[in-house]
Amino acid sequence: MKNWLLLLLCWGAWLSGQAQEAPATTTDEDAFYIRRIYDKALTDSRCYSWLEYLTTRIGGRLSGSPQAAASVEYTRWVLDTIGFDTVWLQPCMVPHWVRGDAEQVRVVNSRKMGSLELRALALGNSVGTGPAGLTAEVIEVNHLDDLEKLGRSRLEGKIVFFNRPFDPTHINTFAAYGGAVDQRAYGAARAARFGAVGVLVRSMTSRLDDVPHTGSLAYEEGTPRIPAFGISTNDAELLSSLLKEEPVRVYMRSTCMHMGEALSYNVIAEMRGSERPGDIILVGGHLDSWDVSGGAHDDGAGCVQSMEVLRLLKTMGYKPKRTLRCVLFMNEENGLMGGRTYISESNKAREYHMAAIESDRGGFTPRGFTCEGDATVFEAKFKKLAQWMSLLEPYGLRLSKGGSGADIGGLKSQKGLLIGFEPDSQRYFDFHHAPTDNFDSVNKRELELGAAAMTALVYLLDKYGLD
Amino acid sequence: MKNWLLLLLCWGAWLSGQAQEAPATTTDEDAFYIRRIYDKALTDSRCYSWLEYLTTRIGGRLSGSPQAAASVEYTRWVLDTIGFDTVWLQPCMVPHWVRGDAEQVRVVNSRKMGSLELRALALGNSVGTGPAGLTAEVIEVNHLDDLEKLGRSRLEGKIVFFNRPFDPTHINTFAAYGGAVDQRAYGAARAARFGAVGVLVRSMTSRLDDVPHTGSLAYEEGTPRIPAFGISTNDAELLSSLLKEEPVRVYMRSTCMHMGEALSYNVIAEMRGSERPGDIILVGGHLDSWDVSGGAHDDGAGCVQSMEVLRLLKTMGYKPKRTLRCVLFMNEENGLMGGRTYISESNKAREYHMAAIESDRGGFTPRGFTCEGDATVFEAKFKKLAQWMSLLEPYGLRLSKGGSGADIGGLKSQKGLLIGFEPDSQRYFDFHHAPTDNFDSVNKRELELGAAAMTALVYLLDKYGLD
């Protein structure tokens, strides 16, 4: 027994013995300061309680909704109380789409199952079916290009069911998402070209469960706008198996609609730089979410982490050389109007974002950062960043080339470095755009480690610059 | 809208573009084979459904319990049906401890709160209080050494409450565990030296919640055996705050007891090597668990991953040069008798374990492997292993020096390499030894990725050896 307990006691010690060496270009002071950032983030953070408020007291924050307005007021208030140099709201017009009644989607003619409800959510931006709903035969396809092969003769008056699953062999689940999301984004527009009257899309997750996922679609100019729904992966499997046996007719009803545009805001807080205030370092996430959950991983987590970055530095007494800006973007989910407005205003003001970091891949354990930028400057800046890796590796972080974030992507023309915070991706699409994306799906330590990782990078960016 | 959707579509593609280069000492064939292993593990695994059976149909598998016996029969049956060269049970005698009635722990004299139940679990191996229970005043301490300072005059007849929390600043949570678990392991024995009649221990987790955690304690020869309980971290905080205001008396009752020894088994399956059958490569976990949950992360996950390693290689038609052995150890939690028996029998048979991998840190996203070994041979073997890292890095894996696993630690004298599978540690102690360690806390992909990582390493170990 004793030997065994001794083993167990030593185990923790062994595991924690990771080397931490400062690189030639930076100093021991940096390693020490980054350690202080982590200590502070793990013992005295606010982000988890902010997230609780945002996701449980306010809830789903769809652009134009009362909850979105509440989230603007709440985060502005929080940022105001921390005492940054400036906190302001940047107005932007956003599309105001509402879901309406609970969706109904059901198989109406199955000999085997009788009337069978499918768990469904209208896709964002979708038109409604009208109050009477509609009934039509279902045609299953796996690719947008299958539509052309089937042609109008087979598709006219039908409901097209897109059922290509995530490819589970991708290690990074965002690659699987990228390989399937064309069905959700463009399925309705493409099916409408051939006279289809509605669309069902298999939910964007590799998980087999009963949870339907929503998410945006885009219509085409000049083709009819037809209603589209996401259905759960279990129901997609079931529907597909029914279709192998008999023709299937589905009734679908939704009353979602566009309410025009609404005034909303990006929420911005700034610590002004003492030496190079014209060099802006942005950290941000998006404040809006879908309406069907608390929007915890997408993207409450990214917002509270970004707020935490500035709070940690402020409360540690850090005086930035460069201007640090926390931006909570509105309307990433169904229009990107917050991001577009921000960039347009920034360009008008001839600002220079030396670096921008977006956190919009969930509040999971940090794995590192992915970077992109204008081709004429990218390699030099990435190389500079890579020199700091030995300071970040002890915290399980790596740097790689890759996408940054939807809201900040347009800043590329300012020729700074665009950086995406990269948490572990395995569980993200269990929750993404689904009614399960709630506060209880976020782990406090994982969230805090993300805030610490972003803060450490902001510290290095501010101290050493990229130019 | 369109631009935004395009961004979104490209994003997945960018993120997946990670370089994957084969190193000089291995071949492209290896990179290809490892990719095949991952593809198979992510599309055609069995481990998740095995885990469901083990954790939900069988449940908690405390040594000596009917469930432990059922788990031996179930896993032997599964391994038998896969068709390995040999599947056998290795007998071992294990301690049979039973929890008895649901524990009662309550504050009985709080002016503020009246009678207050504390959520508690008897610690494993603890004696019971007797059917009448016991009531005594509580003294809070933070360190074992505090007892000496207080002395018998302050502790005699008292209940000692160990309340030192996890240090949240450790990045690896096993280090925080290693820094706190002496309270649980030795608290009762040390308090009994000074005449204490019972012990309460703050649960071994950094999470603040209502879930009590169990886990083993060890008594000392020559000092009385006094009953000990883990209480939830929220209740530990509450009790501590009450103690700041007034003396607190607690009633505690447990009927747990030792039932002597029971016959049980390690479950072993083997694929015999074609060229060097005397070189054994072991993969394993422990089949027993605590009784209060399904034992999903600890260590159902490690068992089904180890079984999956051999199944993947078998079904891929792989013919090992060396002998591959899956070992499901009994009684890691409260005695380590399975591990001890295995090593003793192995030494008697003059076996050589060239490498042994244990998975016993949960079924979370893989981060890599930690390695240890006899000092006379370790550096050379570790260096050999490190040459393969470029094959494993594309899967997010790293190698480091550190502990392997409690069951395999004793194999060190055979001078092979001992390897611990290292998943992400952040959430492990949310579930460890707690009623929440159930099937629904394990993510299918994370579990499968762990099995794939272990299989890839076994493939390289088998193909290239370490000598």
Average pLDDT (A163-187) is: 98
Q: Which residues of A134-178 form beta strands (DSSP E)?
A: 134-141, 159-162
CA torsion A69-A74-A77-A81 (nearest 10°) is -160
pLDDT of residue B20 exceeding 50, the answer is no
Chain A contacts in chain B segment 87-146 (CB below 8 A)? 125
pLDDT digits (tens, 9 = 90+) for A385-405: 999 999 999 999 999 999 999
> What's the whole-number mean pLDDT along residues B214-228?
97
In terms of Cα–Cα distance, which of B164, B171, B168, B147 is closest to B203?
B164
Bridge partners (DSSP) of residue A401 are: A371
CB contact under 8 A, B1 and A218: yes
Instruction: Show residues of chain A in contact with B394, CB under 8 Å.
Output: 171
- Using CA coordinates, name the residue in chain B closest to A430: B443
Contact A169 B38 (CB under 8 A): yes
Token reading at B295: 């034992």
Chain A residues with CB inside 8 Å of B190's CB?
none
Q: Tell me what the pLDDT averaged over chain A comes to.
A: 94
Strands of the A86-98 sheet, one edge to the other: A86-98, A257-271, A322-329, A276-286, A352-358, A417-423, A366-373, A398-401
Residue by residue, DSSP assigns B114-152 as EEEE--EEEPBTPPP--TT-EEEEEEEESSTTHHHHHHH
Q: How far is A7 from chain B (nearest CA, A)?
A: 6
Q: Please compute, for residue A182, the number of CA atoms within 13 A of its CA located in the half-sphere on the CB side.
A: 16
Kindly name the residue from B103, B270, B332, B422 that is annotated as catalytic. B332
Question: Is A383 near chain B, with CB under 8 Å?
Answer: no
* Rg, Å, chain A Cα set: 24
Chain B residues closer than 8 Å to A38 by CB: 169, 171
Confidence at residue A334, expressed as pLDDT on a 0 to 100 scale? 96
Q: pLDDT digit string (tens) for A289-304?
A: 999 999 999 999 999 9
> What per-residue confidence (pLDDT) applies to A264?
98
Say whether pLDDT at A326 is over 60. Answer: yes
Q: How many A-B residue pairs are in contact by the CB < 8 A criterion?
A: 180
Interface of A with B in 142-171 (CB under 8 A): 168-171
A24 in reach of chain B (CB within 8 A): no
Give the least confident one: A456-465, B1-10, B333-342. B1-10
Partner residue facing A16 (CB), from B170, B181, B409: B170
Apex B398 CA angle, B396 and B402, nearest 5: 140
Q: What CA–CA distance (Å, rounded) separates B46 from B448?
A: 9
Cβ neighbours for B110, distance < 8 A, ≥ 6 positions apart: B116, B242, B246, B248
Confirm if B107 and B248 have CB atoms less than 8 A apart.
yes
Whether B24 shows a pLDDT value over 50: the answer reads no
pLDDT for the residue B26: 67
Among B258, B254, B293, B299, which Cα is nearest to B121's? B254
Q: Sort out which chain B residues have CB atoms less than 8 A from A42's CB and list them.
A: 168-169
A106-to-A133, A137, A248, B65 alpha-carbon distances in Å: 11, 12, 10, 47
Q: Burial of B138 by CB count in 10 Å (0-12 exposed, 13-18 middle, 19+ buried)? A: buried
Q: Does A1 touch chain B (CB under 8 A)?
A: yes
pLDDT of residue B114: 78
- Distance between the two ends of chain A, CA-based, in angstroms? 59
Q: What is the pLDDT of residues B75-104, one digit of tens each?
A: 999 999 999 999 999 999 999 999 999 999
User: Using CB atoms and an 8 Å cut-off, which of residues 221-260 of chain A contact chain B?
Assistant: none
Residues of chain A contacting B125 with CB distance shorter than 8 Å? 1
Does A446 lie at the interface with B, CB-CB under 8 angstroms? yes
Largest CA distance in chain A: 77
Contact A420, A405 (CB under 8 A): yes
Asked if pLDDT for residue A348 goes beyond 90, the answer is yes
Question: What pLDDT is recorded for position A25?
Answer: 57
**Which pLDDT value is given to residue B21?**
37
Question: Looking at the complex, does the CB of residue B265 fall below 8 Å from at least one CB of chain A?
Answer: no
Partners of residue B218 in chain A, C-beta under 8 Å:
1-2, 5
Among A358, A419, A445, the residue to mutate for chain B (most B Cβ within 10 A): A445
Task: Given the cut 0.90, state whether the ipTM is greater than it.
Answer: yes
Q: Measured between beta carbons, which residues in chain A are less than 8 angstroms from residue B42? A: 168-169
Contacts B371 to A, Cβ<8 Å: none
Confidence band for A26, pLDDT divided at 50, 70 and 90: low
pLDDT of residue B112: 76
**Cβ of A413 under 8 Å from any chain B Cβ?**
no
Residues A265, A72 contacting (CB under 8 angstroms): yes
Among A395, A412, A424, A426, most B C-beta atoms within 10 A, so best to mutate, is: A426
- Closest A-chain CA to B40: A169
Mean pLDDT of B460-464: 97
How does pLDDT run across B237-283, given as a tens digit for each residue? 999 999 999 999 999 999 999 999 999 999 999 999 999 999 999 99
What pLDDT score was predicted for residue B113?
Answer: 74
**Does the reported pTM lie above 0.90?**
yes
pLDDT over 60 at A59, yes or no: yes
Give phi and psi for B228, each to the nearest 5: -140, 145
* pLDDT tens column, A213-242: 999 999 999 999 999 999 999 999 999 999
Q: Looking at residue A263, what DSSP letter applies?
A: E
The answer to whether B177 faces chain A, any CB pair under 8 Å, is yes
Nearest to B10 among A9, A39, A403 (CB): A403
pLDDT-above-70 percentage for chain B: 94
Cis check for the bond before B299: say yes or no (omega within 30 of 0): yes
Please answer yes or no on whether A14 and B372 come within 8 Å at the CB atom: yes
Q: CA torsion A67→A71→A77→A82, rounded to 10°?
A: 160
Q: Min CA distance, B243 vs chain A (Å)?
A: 24
| Inter-chain touch B42–A169, beta carbons under 8 Å | yes
Q: Which domains does chain B have, with CATH numbers?
A: 23-97+260-464 (3.40.630.10), 100-255 (3.50.30.30)
pLDDT at A13 over 80: no
- Residue A23 confidence class, pLDDT cut points 50, 70, 90: very low
For the residues A185-213, what does the mean pLDDT come to? 98
Taking phi over 0 as left and psi of -120 to 50 as alpha, with beta for the rest, A439 belongs to alpha
Judge: A445–B426 Cβ closer than 8 Å, yes or no: yes
Whether A349 has a pLDDT exceeding 90, the answer reads yes
Mean pLDDT of A336-355: 98
What values do phi and psi take at B299, rounded to 5?
A: -140, 35
Which chain B residues are Cβ-neighbours of A49 within 8 angstroms?
Answer: none
**Angstroms from A189 CA to nearest CA on chain B:** 12
Is some CB atom of chain A closer than 8 A to the CB atom of B3?
yes
pLDDT (mean) for B4-17: 46
Can you give the pLDDT at residue B157? 98
CA distance B56 to B439: 7
Residue B379 in this model has a pLDDT that exceeds 90: yes
- Inter-chain residue contact A335 with B365, CB threshold 8 Å: no
Q: Residue B163 pLDDT > 70, yes or no?
A: yes
Q: CA A265, A266, A271, A272: dihedral to nearest 10 degrees?
A: -80
What radius of gyration, in Å, describes the C-alpha atoms of chain B? 24
Selection from A261, A301, A461 nearest residue A381 by Cα: A461
A 50-69 residues with CB below 8 A of B?
none
**A394 contacts in B (CB within 8 Å)?**
171
Q: Which residue of B has its CA nearest to A215?
A: B5
Contact B396 A18 (CB under 8 A): no
Which of A412, A451, A206, A174 has the alpha carbon at shortest distance from A306?
A: A451
Whether B220 sits among the annotated catalytic residues: the reply is no
Catalytic option among A332, A333, A358, A372:
A332
pLDDT band of residue A18 (cuts 50, 70, 90) is very low
Which residues in chain A touch residue B335, judged by CB atoms under 8 angstroms apart? 1, 4
Q: Please state whether the peptide bond connecting residue B374 to the residue before it is cis, i.e. omega within 30 degrees of 0.
A: no
Provide the greatest CA pair distance for chain B: 77
Residue A20 has pLDDT above 60, yes or no: no
Nearest-by-CA chain B residue for A422: B15
Cβ-nearest to B179 among A12, A171, A172: A12
Which 310-329 residues of chain B touch chain A by CB within 8 A?
none
B432/A contact by beta carbon, under 8 A? no
In the predicted structure, residue B208 carries a pLDDT above the cut 50 = yes
